[in-house]
Structure 1
């Protein structure tokens, strides 16, 4: 197990700030942009002309996604790209139309399940609402509340079998309370409008989700653990941001360094801001056109490019060891993981494994492998999607965690920092 250094503790504290500022995918994209602009990056608009010469640091935001890149001064039409990819969304509850509901003197929020949350983990904790409001002039504003909602669990006295089996009905038992009174005289959207400083009457659309209101925290013997909401996948987004900030200083690599943060991974990625959409391909094409590349030169550049798809994976759980592969047993605090699946649910192959191990060795970071128990199929990531869309060599990696898809997940403090070191090596080397 890696020792928890002062640098790792500082990284975890910065991650806690980052998560607190990123309660929705839209906030995460905005926070990435804010930090990188402060580091000297220039924000570009998709409907404007982009720079057409080598050199420079840039970013572009599309809804809840953001791409940021550094072009070396010596870049040419065939300069390859090094992409560190992650996603900004997490399982949660999303506000439905007409969200102000309630009965019997209680105010409730009408919500729909987003992705695959571990439902019981959302019980009995204070929740925020966060996302974007779209106004009558077509502009969008971000909004986020403090602790506002709660899903109260039924008392054990009223359900004596709750400890034997708890199954929540997704329609009738996951509607959080947020106040007392009559739904006819309340307005949940009004609460969100006040937080954004706009008139509720101007709201024409919205994308708003729940988030755990509690701040991320370091704990455990030797400060080995970090618990927080949205570690899947803000842990990777943050690692990529930190790595790109550091790599920008004195950058002279022979490739374009790029951070790619996509939205909607938890629901399949098939959106304009998801990994299955055109965002990454469009931006890379525009960068190449600015460098004077024709179609053939663009293909040559992509043939020499890499994507590191970073998302969380399962740590060995000491209470459920039978759910894991009996031999390959990654554990929190022992380094980032290389994710492998014979059926290409992860994009890693032998070439990718060798490259990843080389970056880890250069960064002085130990790496672990992850493979599923054959009887417990794994999920997938943006990796295979990116490899399929762009034909780019791709490797799937991440950090091991427990409580994946819980409202509050558990990571190793040293792993979080180590992932950022390897990402920096990817960008620089």
Structure 2
């Protein structure tokens, strides 16, 4: 498969995944043809060598694994970790309000989005609703408005004369409400919004009890550039890493010849710190690895031996050099789009990379015929973080933080290089086959 074909698959994956809940559903659909068996956390697990399994927790985090033919105590776990969530807006519980006949939805900011990029976009809603079914049982359903439903119009420059000098600044409480309808005098905003939810879900408004709804951009992903060497979409950070890990795992040669136990762990809530029962700071991954050990009759010491031989690649996007803003980068650590995966380092352990894990990743790149780059953040700017340090510390295993370089991280419309995605898939395949 060519690099462009891989990215076309990625864009389709992102466009089918407007929320973390949809992302996990898209992953489930992708693995359906590969004989993966879904495991229930409330049931007893029975696993077989060579078996393919996955576990979903709370609909937006998923761990997939292929049980290797070698005992975990002898070969460890090879883990690729990434996250399913992206920064943006989430709809409040008492969402709808009206002002001078214009209905608006109140939002909370999720993570650290670039707020100005949400202005003047064709926005809509996607996520999960919880409802009471016909028998009174609690049930859940994914919902998605496939059409532009919401908008955050800019204030005209005639009322904001300094916007081009000072930048667009939006008050987080008062100026982020999203416009969605023009109501007549007798229409109330919340019942009107509930009627829209009823329509898209096919469930009576009185049955709907609560929701997790994310705001998403309806514009589909695309290739761009004189030679179509770049691509743009929402949620590249970090669905691109999820897709790369998944494509590496689903290689037939790797699936059929797994010696070590191979794991893809994709978590929700990374953008807000990972401290939840489904985040990398929770017990999800450690629970799965522990239950693999139990199901394969490993003693406690063997489990510790397995973890001591394990390795985690934390895959999250990296900051590509932007030629319009050269002062924002350390001059000796500029990384470039389409020049290969980036090894991210930070002395204060905002990234989990260290010399040994870095050397091993460089070897895998060389063996895969893939170039690599090294990134370090400017010392006078706060550095972001990833699931790497969190999961590595919780499990006690060696880890590295890597990612494909990209522009406009945390914008509603991000960009990256076509070749880099292909490079990342190749090196992750090498990791899984080592």
Tell whether the structures are fold-level matches, with TM greater than 0.5: yes
Match of 1:376 in 2: 381
What is the RMSD of the two structures over their aligned residues, measured on CA atoms? 1.4
Cα contact 1:92–1:113 (8 A) shared by 2: yes
Matches of 1:352 and 1:184, distance apart in 2: 58
Match of 1:320 in 2: 325
Cα contact 1:52–1:289 (8 A) shared by 2: no
Query: For 1:378-397, what per-residue CA distance to the aligned partner results, in whole angstroms no more than 9, with x for missing partners?
Result: 11000000111000111000
Match of 1:97 in 2: 93
Q: CA deviation at 1:121?
A: 0.5
User: What is the number of residues matched between the two proteins?
Assistant: 424
SS at match of 2:80: strand
Query: For 1:383-418, what per-residue CA distance to the aligned partner results, in whole angstroms no more than 9, with x for missing partners?
Result: 000111000111000011110100011101111121
- Structural mapping, 1:44-83, within 5 Å: 44-63=39-58, 64-75=60-71, 77-83=73-79
Cα contact 2:83–2:266 (8 A) shared by 1: yes
Cα contact 1:106–1:179 (8 A) shared by 2: yes
SS at match of 1:207: strand
SS at match of 1:221: coil
Match of 1:144 in 2: 144
Cα contact 2:66–2:255 (8 A) shared by 1: no
Q: CA deviation at 1:294?
A: 1.0
Q: 1:118 to 1:134 in 2, by over 3 A?
A: same
Cα contact 2:15–2:220 (8 A) shared by 1: yes
Question: Given the alignment of the two structures, is residue 397 of structure 1 paired with residue 406 of structure 2, yes or no?
Answer: no
Q: CA deviation at 1:248?
A: 6.0
Query: For 1:222-250, what per-residue CA distance to the aligned partner results, in whole angstroms no more than 9, with x for missing partners?
Result: 11111100011001011111111115655
SS at match of 2:281: coil
Matches of 1:184 and 1:268, distance apart in 2: 37
Matches of 1:392 and 1:199, distance apart in 2: 48
Cα contact 2:124–2:216 (8 A) shared by 1: yes
- Given the alignment, which residue of 166, 172, 178 partners 1:170? 172
**Bigger Cα displacement from structure 2, 292-301 vs 418-427:** 418-427
Matches of 2:54 and 2:66, distance apart in 1: 9
Cα contact 1:55–1:75 (8 A) shared by 2: no
SS at match of 1:297: helix
Question: Given the alignment of the two structures, is residue 357 of structure 1 paired with residue 353 of structure 2, yes or no?
Answer: no
Question: Given the alignment of the two structures, is residue 131 of structure 1 paired with residue 127 of structure 2, yes or no?
Answer: yes
Q: Normalising by the residue count of structure 1, what TM-score does the alignment of the two structures yield?
A: 0.96
In structure 1, the gaps of 5 or more residues are: 1-5
- Given the alignment, which residue of 192, 195, 198 partners 2:200? 195
Cα contact 1:240–1:420 (8 A) shared by 2: yes
Match of 1:284 in 2: 289
Match of 1:157 in 2: 158
Matches of 2:317 and 2:7, distance apart in 1: 16
Cα contact 1:263–1:274 (8 A) shared by 2: yes
Matches of 1:301 and 1:332, distance apart in 2: 36
In structure 2, the gaps of 5 or more residues are: none
Question: Given the alignment of the two structures, is residue 184 of structure 1 paired with residue 188 of structure 2, yes or no?
Answer: yes
Match of 2:342 in 1: 337
Query: For 1:91-132, what per-residue CA distance to the aligned partner results, in whole angstroms no more than 9, with x for missing partners?
Result: 110010111222111111111111110000110001121110
**Bigger Cα displacement from structure 2, 70-79 vs 264-273:** 70-79
Cα contact 1:232–1:404 (8 A) shared by 2: yes
Match of 1:19 in 2: 14
SS at match of 2:251: helix
Q: Normalising by the residue count of structure 2, what TM-score does the alignment of the two structures yield?
A: 0.95
